[in-house]
Structure formats: C-alpha cells, structure tokens
C-alpha cells in the first residue's frame, strides 16, 4: 500500500498567524525521510492553506512524487499545467466548506471535467478523479479518460467515528448520524461494502484505485482489507498526531499501519 502524506494542515497552522512558521518545506523533508511514498497537497481556490509559492517549492524540492489536488477551475488548471506535478487529482470544491464534503460530480460537470482531463493530458500529467464510491461514478471516470480514481471515504470515517470514538459526545458530533448503535453498525457495513465494490470494479476496468478522506490511525485497518486499493492519502490525522509525537514518528506509525 502506498502512503501519500497530505501536508496541507502544516500550512493551515502557518496561515493562522500569517507567519512562515511552521515552514512547509520542513514538513516536506521530514515526511520524505520518514517512509512516506508520496506527498499530497491541495491548491484551493481561496488559498486557505497551500499557496502558489508553496506548490512550486514543494514540487521543485520533493524527492518523492507529488500528488496535487485541485478543482476544475480553469485558472487553477493553468497553474497545474505550469507546475507539472506527478499527478493531478481533480476534486470538488466549495468556498464555504471546512473540508471536501464529497466526491466530484462526474455527471453534472462532465464537460468541465472532460476539458480538464484533456488539458492535463496535453501536458502529460496523469489524472485521478476524487469520487464517491459508486459503480456509476467509477465507470464514468473511466469513460472520461482518467487513469485513476480516489474513493471518498468521508462517509465511512464519520460513521466509524460516531460508532467507535467519543465524537458523538463532542461539539463536532455528526447530527445526521446521532443514531442507535445497531443502526450505525448497519450503515458502517453498507459503507464498507460500497467502497469494496467500487474498488473491485475500478480495478476490473483498468483504473488504479486510491482512497482518502477522514482516514486515521483507528480506522485505516478497514481499508487495508481491500486488496484493490493500492494507495491511501492521509493528512489531518497525521499532522494532529505529530503535535504530540513529532511528524517523523507520526508518519512512521501510519506507514507501519498501512504496510501489508
């Protein structure tokens, strides 16, 4: 299993005070030296964390492949074609959201996604689509010309946390998941089945398969059971753990958990 470490949240902390501390390049170097296989960053339209200069510096100095997440906004795509990352992952984006809330609407934005993929391919940049774990979305991704899909695991992660952690007793409890434990167990099983089926179908039709969003040290073992998933992209939980253990140890521990 390849591990992509998303270092966006180092930039979140930096931007909270608008100073160059912590330095995003220090995070890059530590992650690269601690066993990760790939660096993942998200260049958002509102530049809430990673800035243009960060993206250029990371891609220039990274000893490992860089997976650049981005929207289908044409101005962002122009930057991506100039950056030429190892891979571009097209994701949905809303200015008001705290984090990416779901998969890319590959049906509602077919023309825009098709344009983005063709443009990126013109610059020899492989494309992954960040999608909800459904057979239909997988098939559409293949038809649009993507080489890879990343299955959105946010729903799974929320259910898992409401069932197996103190989330339900916190200020961040997921209102729509305030359900009896037996109901949460049923939903968790359905969510895992959907991810598994989507991964199997993607592999069957020739797509590489990654997964990400909300994955952490407690739930990642469920993804390890799905053989067709060959890459995980994990950020917030690693950076959160690093506050207490240091980034190198946090990356090494996640790499240990994601080694088959």
Percent of the chain surpassing pLDDT 70: 97
Per the prediction, the chain carries an average pLDDT of 96
Q: What pLDDT is attached to residue 220?
A: 98
Q: Is the pLDDT of residue 228 over 90?
A: yes
- The pLDDT value recorded for residue 102 is 85
pLDDT by residue (tens digit) across 170-188? 999 999 999 999 999 999 9
Whether 139 is catalytic is no
213 given a catalytic annotation? yes
* 184-206: pLDDT as tens digits: 999 999 999 999 999 999 999 99
Q: Please name the helix (run of DSSP H) or strand (run of DSSP E) that holds residue 241, with its range, or none.
A: helix 236-245
Annotated catalytic residue: which of 42, 49, 152, 201?
Answer: 42
Can you give the pLDDT at residue 149? 98
Is residue 210 classed as helix, strand or coil in its secondary structure? strand
DSSP string, 11-74: HHHHHHHTSS-S-HHHHHHHHHTTT-SEEEEE--TT-SS--HHHHHHHHHH-SS-EEEEE-S-H
Q: Looking at the predicted structure, is the pLDDT value of residue 8 above 90? A: yes
Give me the mean pLDDT over the 70-89 stretch.
Answer: 97
Catalytically annotated residue among 49, 69, 201, 222: 69
pLDDT at 260: 84
Q: What are the pLDDT digits (tens) for 87-143? A: 999 999 765 555 556 899 999 999 999 999 999 999 999 999 999 999 999 999 999
Q: What is the mean pLDDT of residues 16-38?
A: 96
Active site annotation includes 201: no
Q: Which of 49, 152, 201, 213 is catalytic?
A: 213
pTM of the model: 0.95
């Amino acid at each position: 299993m390849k591990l992509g470490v998303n270092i966006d949240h180092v930039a979140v902390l930096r931007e909270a005070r608008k100073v160059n501390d912590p330095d995003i390049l220090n995070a890059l170097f530590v992650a690269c030296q601690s066993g990760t296989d790939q660096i993942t960053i998200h260049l958002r339209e509102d530049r809430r964390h990673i800035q243009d200069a960060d993206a250029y510096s990371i891609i220039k100095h990274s000893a490992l492949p860089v997976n650049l997440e981005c929207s289908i906004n044409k101005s962002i795509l122009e930057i991506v074609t100039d950056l030429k990352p190892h891979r571009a992952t097209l994701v949905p984006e809303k200015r008001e959201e705290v984090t990416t809330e779901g998969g890319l609407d590959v049906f509602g934005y077919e023309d825009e996604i098709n344009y983005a993929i063709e443009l990126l391919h013109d610059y020899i940049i492989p494309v992954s689509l960040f999608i909800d774990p459904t057979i239909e979305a997988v098939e559409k991704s293949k038809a649009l010309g993507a080489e890879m899909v990343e299955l959105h695991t946010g729903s799974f992660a929320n259910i898992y946390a409401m069932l197996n952690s103190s989330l339900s007793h916190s200020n961040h409890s997921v209102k729509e998941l305030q359900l009896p434990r037996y109901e949460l167990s049923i939903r968790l099983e359905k969510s895992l089945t959907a991810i598994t089926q989507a991964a199997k179908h993607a592999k069957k039709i020739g797509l590489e398969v990654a997964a990400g969003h909300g994955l952490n040290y407690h739930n990642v073992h469920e993804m390890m059971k799905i053989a067709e998933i060959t890459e995980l992209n994990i950020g917030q939980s690693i950076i959160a753990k690093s506050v207490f253990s240091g980034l190198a140890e946090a990356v090494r521990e996640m790499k240990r958990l994601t080694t088959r």
